[in-house]
């Protein structure tokens, strides 16, 4: 598996059509996390950019997944292959030793 960062530019005007797709987008994000393809997903406070990191086979597989994103038609994508992506998952339970 390889790691990729995807930077997405959102439109300056969020249309009614865009807004109605947000629940489907949230479900897509949840599904990607469940499949362990999506590592992180962040929206800028000004709602102009999304950053997402993926763990996936290759860039072509990533592009295929992103085609299924409900908001894809409204976004401009930039792809970055990562050497590493360090992070800590605060919501995971600590390792329990049985000793």
Nearest alpha carbon to residue 82 among 49, 59, 50, 48: 59
In tens, the pLDDT along 9-22 reads 999 999 999 999 99
* Closest by Cα among 87, 81, 8, 80 to 40: 87
Q: Could you tell me the pTM of the whole model?
A: 0.81
Of 6-10, 18-22, 86-90, the one with minimum mean pLDDT is: 86-90
Closest CA to 1 of 81, 55, 39: 55
More confident residue, 36 or 85: 36
Q: Could you tell me the sign of the dihedral formed by the alpha carbons of 92, 94, 95, 99, in that order? A: negative
Domains of the chain: 2-82 (3.30.70.1060)
Model confidence pLDDT, tens digit, residues 47-84:
999 999 999 999 999 999 999 999 999 999 999 988 87
């Amino acid at each position: 598996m390889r790691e990729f960062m995807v930077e997405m530019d959102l439109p300056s005007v969020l249309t009614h059509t865009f807004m109605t797709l947000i629940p489907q987008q949230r479900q897509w994000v949840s599904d990607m996390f469940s499949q362990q393809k999506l590592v992180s997903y962040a929206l800028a406070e000004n709602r102009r950019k999304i950053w997402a990191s993926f763990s996936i086979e290759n860039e072509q597989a990533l592009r295929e997944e992103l085609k299924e994103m409900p908001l894809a038609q409204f976004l401009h994508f930039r792809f970055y292959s990562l050497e590493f992506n360090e992070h800590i998952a605060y919501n995971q339970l600590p390792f329990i030793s049985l000793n």
